Amino acid sequence: MDEELREAARDHLIRYGQGDIDKLYVSSTGTTVTDDEGREILDFTSGQMCATLGHSHPAIVKAIQMGAGNAIHLFSGMIPEAVARLGQKLAEWLPKPLTRSLFVNTGSESNEAALRMAKMVTGGYEVIALGGSWHGVTGQAASASFASERRGYGPKVPGVSVIPEPYSYRCPIGHCRDNCDMSCMKVGMKMFDMASEGAPAAIIAEPILSAGGVLVPPEGYFKKLKSEAEKRGMMLIFDEAQTAFGRIGHKFAATQLGVTPDIMSVSKTLGGGLPLAAMITSDKIEEAAHEKGYAYYTSHVSDPLPALAGLAVLETVEEENLIERAREMGGYLREALETLLQKYEAIGEIRGQGLLMGIDLVKDRESREPHLELGLMTTKRCMELGLSMNIKHRPERGAVWRIAPPLTVSKAELDKGVEILDQALRESLDELARNPG
Ligand code: PMP
């Protein structure tokens, strides 16, 4: 441990909302992250949900080494072979007619590119997003995000409407309890039509609203959303930043739902930890955009090195049967979490799919008031005991843990994580009982 370096981090880095810097981290492998005291911590968030193959999977390391020796970066107008290969491979994975990709860096960027294309092709500019959504921090993506902090950054892009999210545990329109009948969508679309200036462009949605509290919309929700989009001549954009490439036990949420969007954005889970994202659409939409002069020129569009990592991710998911594994391990994790649900009144609900799970902490199961204090205490205690978990800090979104370990996680690691969670919950509840308030 280097106390001076910790001090330097505190003195010279800009804080971006990540909390106090009380230590630094030195390495990561598989499901484990090691801090500057040599402590090993189980990583149940796969980094920032990106390390789906586990940290530094040998296939990713090999791809990076190969890429570094071959071509790290090229002029954006030169298409590298690796990018052509990744485009071809993705087209094999994707539901038809999604066959064309644009490779960029982050999730925010892929949504920027998607919204630019939807606007250009439709000629409109009105965008609908769901309450509790998170599509990124750049201009248009942030404008369409409602789980993130919007105050203090000036005006957002005009034309964005928000519709109430399908959150039957805490229905935003106070209508349902536990069974969403999609009145939220009906009300939302009615409000949109009332406010519309006649220039509809797109509806953008996460198939599982992750930052919003791991909300899984009810059966039929996206079929209906697609038809609402079609009725208005809008494009449906699925933001599959967290759901693509196996995390939820399917290739994509789109394949699982049987709903193919007009445009899909993928990011986090594509790069194996490297910044790689894509916007994907059909021949028809790509052609229409091209005819109108669609441009998305950035310094790192179509970069060769991350494309090799993307190829390695797809190949490894296939070779190691990680989609089936996510389903199997997800089932195992859910069962373990269900035992905690039986044990603790403070767990209100367990939601999610595959290896993307949410645990909603409440003061009591009747009022469902979010138990923020318990969430923060337990998260801190988990970290002390060697488990890294993520909790939402915004009170209006509840106190929800997000659990998303790498798809390569073992049963023993899941057992250990749940054991730590159990202990941390027990100790935190005891502490709160001793010192209420
Ligand atoms: N979409 C979703 C669903 C996300 O969860 C995130 C990141 N949390 C983003 C987009 C933005 O991605 P990035 O942080 O890579 O810009």
Name which of 254, 256, 263 is nearest 101 in CA terms. 263
133 touches ligand 1 (CB under 6 Å): no
Indicate the SS3 state at residue 70: helix
The pairs formed by 71-78 with CB atoms below 8 angstroms and a separation of 24 or more are: 71/304, 71/305, 72/303, 72/304, 72/305, 73/300, 73/303, 73/304, 73/305, 74/302, 74/303, 74/304, 76/297, 76/298, 76/299, 76/300, 76/301, 76/302, 78/302
Q: Are residues 309 and 202 in the same domain?
A: yes
Same domain for 35 and 64, yes or no, is no
Is 248 found in the same domain as 201? Answer: yes
The answer to whether residues 249 and 362 belong to one domain is no
224 C-alpha to ligand 1 centroid (Å): 24
Kindly name the residue from 100, 251, 397, 402 that is annotated as catalytic. 402
Cβ of residue 144 lying under 6 Å from some atom of ligand 1: no
Does the CB atom of residue 206 touch ligand 1 within 6 A?
yes
Cα of 107 from ligand 1 centre, angstroms? 5
CB atoms within 10 A of CB 339: 11
Q: Are residues 122 and 170 in the same domain?
A: yes
Asked if residue 45 and residue 72 are part of one domain, the reply reads: no
Q: Are residues 393 and 313 in the same domain?
A: no
pTM: 0.97
Of 284, 300, 319, which residue sits at a domain end? 319
Is the CB of residue 31 below 6 angstroms from any atom belonging to ligand 1? no
Do 146 and 77 lie in one domain? The reply is yes
Of the residues 43, 89, 109, 134, only one is catalytic, namely: 134
Cβ of 44 less than 6 Å from ligand 1: no
Q: Quick check: CB of 238 below 6 Å from ligand 1?
A: no
140, 174: one domain: yes
CATH number at residue 202: 3.40.640.10
Domain termination residue (choose one: 279, 296, 319): 319
Would you call 88 a catalytic residue per the annotation?
no
Our answer to whether residue 11 is catalytic in this structure is no
Catalytic residue among 226, 242, 303, 360: 242
Q: How many residues does the chain have?
A: 437
Protein residue closest via CA to atom 3 of ligand 1: 241
Among 371, 411, 408, which residue's Cα sits nearest to residue 391? 371
pLDDT of residue 392: 73
Residue with the smallest CA separation from ligand 1 atom 1 is: 135
How many domains would you assign to the chain?
A: 2
Q: Does 402 qualify as catalytic in the annotation? A: yes
Q: Report the CATH number at residue 371.
A: 3.90.1150.10
pLDDT (tens digit, 0 to 9) for every residue of the chain, 437 residues total? 899 999 999 999 999 988 889 999 999 999 999 999 999 999 999 999 999 999 999 999 999 999 999 999 999 999 999 999 999 999 999 999 999 999 999 999 999 999 999 999 999 999 999 999 999 999 999 999 999 889 999 999 999 999 999 999 999 999 999 999 999 999 999 999 999 999 999 999 999 999 999 999 999 999 999 999 999 999 999 999 999 999 999 999 999 999 999 999 999 999 999 999 999 999 999 999 999 999 999 999 999 999 999 999 999 999 999 999 999 999 999 999 999 999 999 999 999 999 999 999 999 999 999 999 999 999 999 999 999 998 876 777 889 999 999 999 999 999 999 999 999 999 999 999 998 76
| 107 C-beta closer than 6 A to ligand 1 | yes
**What confidence score (pLDDT) does residue 396 get?**
77
User: What order of strands is seen across the sheet that includes strand 40-43?
Assistant: 25-29, 32-35, 40-43, 387-388
Q: Which of the residues 228, 239, 240, 360 is marked catalytic?
A: 239
Which of 273, 292, 319 lies at the terminal end of a domain, its last residue?
A: 319
Is 338 in the same domain as 214?
A: no
Question: What's the 135 CA to ligand 1 centre distance in angstroms?
Answer: 5
CA of 241 to the centre of ligand 1 (A): 6
Residue 412 lies in domain? 3-53+321-434
Nearest CA-CA partner of 100 in 285, 224, 267, 229: 285
Does the beta carbon of 50 sit less than 6 angstroms from any atom of ligand 1? no
CA of 431 relative to ligand 1 center, distance in Å: 35
Of 119, 232, 268, 392, the active-site residue reads 268
- Which numbered atom of ligand 1 lies nearest the CA of 136? 11
Q: Do 286 and 353 sit in the same domain of this protein? A: no
- Nearest-atom index, ligand 1, CA of 138: 16
Establish whether 242 is a catalytic residue: yes
Record the tokens describing residue 147, joined without a space. 């789980």
Q: Which ligand 1 atom is the nearest neighbour of the CA of 108?
A: 16
pLDDT at 148: 82
- List the catalytic residue out of 43, 126, 165, 206: 206
Pocket test for ligand 1, best of 133, 267, 279 (most atoms within 8 A of CB): 267
Collect all residues with Cβ–Cβ distance below 8 Å to 130 and sequence separation of at least 6: 146, 162, 163, 164, 165, 166, 205, 206, 209, 212
Give the per-residue pLDDT at 169: 96
pLDDT of residue 18: 82
